A = this chain, B = another copy of it.
């Protein structure tokens, strides 16, 4: 019966570190030379054969070096990894980047995805905040030409949703002012999740004399309902989508196609992130992934918060042979910085 020993762990770690760098199968000679383990290549060979038997390593073919298996990576991530440190001054630099853009949520998210992909050289996915924790702040009805009005809803932390609407007749300014005052009084401060048809029914009683309300109703509901909001909110920003092309494992055009097609379908990406129960930091390796297409990929996911409430996720997508120490550090770091920045926003 083969068992795990400290030396085996050292060798496994060495193999994975080396493989992360080179993307080539690693032979016993390389290990015994580069890492001072003070044993000969023959010994390493024996140990590697054991590690293969244990399922941590595998051979692409006889007479080639070893590469890590998913199980090997898993063990590495769980027990062997030395997470990198992010240089002190990076936070300042990134804050600078945030300041350069208007402090709008969508911009912040976009900057985040860019930074994350630059930091890691992989592809970053960042989901904008999507949460029942948002609350209604202000409704504004602005008349346009003719019978059209624009419905603007301001939600906490500066999120704005708007929609144009054509009414049956041209509304007067007072009419609009009245109705928006009524609605504002009733809804102000309510969490979006609690705004349902009951609230509207109550409202309808109060303002049933305004025929506009019925027309507004549908519009408001769509603007406020999560599904509609999620168009903008759960929105996934991709950063460095083409970075994945730089990885040697994607030198095959067919594979690349599959991925880029995936990237074009936002809803799939959204589902992907949602399926992963990120609390803190989570690493999903190879076939652990919910999508078959991603069997050669890993995801490093973290969530970020506004005021201690988890509202969104971010992830790095890269090949299974990913620089985990670096990526884990980067994702952790960005999640923290983003959470801080979001808090300051409020």
Q: Hey, which bits of chain A sit against chain B, CB under 8 A?
A: 102-104, 137-138, 140, 142-145, 148, 150, 152, 154, 158, 160, 162-164, 222, 240-242, 245, 251, 253, 256-257, 260-261, 264, 346
Contact = CB atoms under 8 A, between A and B. Distances in A.
A37 B235 CA distance: 57
Nearest to A138: B142
Number of copies: 2
B158 A140 contact: no
A158 B144 contact: yes
Contact of A253 (B143, B160, B253): B253
A267 to B, nearest CB: 14
B160 A152 contact: yes
Nearest to A154: B142
Contacts of A102: 163-164, 222
Contact of A150 (B145, B160, B260, B264): B160
A49 B242 CA distance: 43
A158 B150 contact: yes
Nearest to A101: B231
Nearest to A228: B102
A141 B85 CA distance: 44
